[in-house]
Amino acid sequence: MESVSKSLDIDDLERKVTVSSPDRDSEIIEFTREEELQLLRKFDFMILPPLAFMYLCNALDKGNVGNAKTAHWDKDIGLTGDQYYILVMVFYAPFCVFGTPLSLFAKRFSAARVLPIVMLGFVEVQYALEQGALYCRSKEFFSQFLEVFAIRFFLGIFESPMLPAVVYYLSTFYKRNELASRVATFYAAASISGAFSGLIAYGVFHITNTKYHNWQYLFWIEGAATLCFAAFAWFWLPRTPATWRFLTDRQKAIARSRILSDSSATVEEGVDVTGAFSPFKSPLYWVWILISISLGVPLASVNNFLPQIISSFKYSTVKTNLYTVAPNVAGTVALLLLAFSSDYFRERTIREHASLLSELKEFRLTWICRCIPLVTAFVGFIILGSIDTLQHLHVAYFACFLLTMGAFAPSILVATWYSNNTTHESKRAAVAAVMVGFANSAGLISTNVFRAQDEPKYVPALATSAAFGGFCLILVAGTGIWMRRENARRNREQGVNLQAKDVDTSNLSQGTKSPLWRYMY
């Protein structure tokens, strides 16, 4: 009876909604769950792994200077003082500025074509770093700092569209309740990259009796992998489900129907540059910007400086890189568990599991999934900043696990959050690009608080990262509570009991002005 009543509630409200496409119903077809699962398996096994490996290449090329520094890369090319930290910081300026236009470019020409091209830029940067090392050997210190500064700047340009473009790209294949786990699977490549980079560094740093620096092999190996896979991705990835040669006509129709029912108001719409930024008229999106910045500080601290944090434990260069592996693996596992839990519980409220908690009847477990990692990272930073790490090595190393387990997941869960609440494709592409840009701008904060004079403990940097993580926790909790109350208000005024999952997104062309709109939180 409850499902019949809910259906009548939706039908009644739909009469009040002006539908933008008169033939919308003809685009949404009937299909079986088995047909849908067959389609999902194709997406999961043929699209996700290549994207994950592309992001692995991205993360390796971005973060390998951290491993190279443990082998004295900075000293070998003549860096002094805070110059290394400036080189880490300069990456984030173009990363923030160019992410939005390049992501809209990827929307216009498809991420499946734009991303392999920018991957070639990674290779060029790796080659430039290698050449800088060769000049270094001849003692021609040709202002290495300025040249490497320029190299890192261009690396930021090439890598800027990777995450927002892929988040948007995946949203054209997966429904809203499927997106967090798939984006997390893709993003897991970045979080596990610290482990891969640590293992590669562990191997190549054993190389001796060669005319090259052993950290040059690190750049060569990772650059070659990027080059090979960029060529493969160009020919393999589909521009859209409708153009994918591995789908039957029936599967293409199912793919289109799925997205119209629970992702986008329209499918394959053109790029509307003016309208794409209209969501930022809403205060909610500015709150999400603050959330993105505040979660970005602890994430950038872990991504850029975990090898330096562990090196403060006074291990050898080889052991330092080896000991970065386990925390990164633990962080990746935590990321996947939280993301899959978020998708799993998207349609399951606490009310369905514990009737005694009636006051929390609209409180979603996905809200909890966003808060848990923020608390975890906060505790990790506090521990590292407040103990004598050399006297309590085991505790300090455990805190490194807390950092990775807490820092990786929030960015994906929040990215899925604002994407799920943005139902127009152009707007979603622009929102993802802007949000990721602001999240990456947090790297400017992180890299400025990690300073040479604070080595080896970096107490001010750890305190700053903890403070931003705590601020993010307050914002996430507050926004989730507001969304729950706003949905309850709409239901109360309309005399219905609707949730976001009950409404086809093809009916939401008016966005939050639609009577059918319900926030996903």
Judge whether 156 and 91 are in contact, CB under 8 Å: yes
Whether the pLDDT of residue 137 is over 70: the answer is: no
CA-nearest of 240, 232, 185 to 44 is: 185
For residue 267, the model assigns a pLDDT of 60
Question: Rounded distance, CA 79 to CA 447, Å?
Answer: 16
- 200 neighbors 150 (Cβ within 8 angstroms): no
Is residue 88 domain-resident?
Answer: yes
d(C-alpha 260, C-alpha 241), whole Å: 13
The verdict on residue 189 lying in a domain is yes
User: Tens of pLDDT along 462-491?
Assistant: 999 999 999 999 999 899 889 889 999 999
Domain that holds residue 67: 40-264+281-513
Burial (CB count within 10 angstroms: exposed 0-12, middle 13-18, buried 19+), residue 77? buried
Assigned token pair, 443: 């790297």
Residue 228 sits in a domain whose CATH number is 1.20.1250.20
DSSP state of 160: T
Q: Determine the 3-state secondary structure of 206 from DSSP.
A: coil
Tell me the CA end-to-end span of the chain in Å, nearest whole number: 26
Instruction: Work out the average pLDDT over 70-80.
Output: 74
The reported pLDDT for the residue numbered 270 is 59
Domain total of the chain: 1
> What is the pLDDT, as a whole number, of residue 346?
58
SS percent in the chain: helix, strand, coil, step 5: 75, 0, 25
Q: Is residue 183 part of a domain?
A: yes
Q: What does the pLDDT average to over 54-66? A: 75
Give pLDDT, residue 164: 85
Q: Examine residue 35 and state whether it is found in any structural domain, yes or no.
A: no
Residue 121 has pLDDT above 70, yes or no: yes
Distances (CA, A) of 501 to 167, 211, 516: 20, 62, 11
Report yes or no: 273 and 416 within 8 Å, Cβ to Cβ: no
Cis preceding linkage at 456, omega within 30:
yes
Asked if pLDDT for residue 166 goes beyond 80, the answer is: yes
Q: With contact defined as beta carbons under 8 Å apart, do 264 and 179 qualify?
A: no
For residue 345, what is the DSSP state? T
> Which tokens sit at 381?
């930073």
User: What pLDDT is recorded for position 422?
Assistant: 86
CA geometry: angle 415, 496, 33, nearest 5 deg: 55
- Give tens-digit pLDDT for 348-400: 333 333 433 433 444 455 556 678 889 999 999 999 989 888 888 889 999 99
Provide mean pLDDT across the span 492-515: 82
Residue 85: inside a domain: yes
The better pLDDT of the pair 17, 254 is held by 254
Give the whole-number percent of the chain exceeding pLDDT 90: 19
- Inside any domain, residue 11: no
Q: Which pLDDT belongs to residue 345?
A: 66
Is residue 39 within 8 Å of residue 251, measured between CB atoms?
yes
User: Residue 113, Cβ neighbours under 10 Å: how many?
Assistant: 13
Would 15 be classed as within a structural domain? no
**Of 370, 371, 412, 366, which is closest to residue 519 (Cα–Cα)?**
366
Look at residue 269 in the predicted model and tell me its pLDDT: 59
pLDDT at 297: 93
Give the residue among 84, 90, 268 at the shortest CA–CA distance from 171: 268
Examine the pLDDT at 430 and tell me if it is beyond 60: yes
**Which of 520, 422, 518 minimizes the C-alpha distance to 171?**
422
Per-residue pLDDT at 18: 41
Contacting residues for 272 by C-beta, under 8 A, at least 6 apart: 426
| Residue 21 within any structural domain of the chain | no
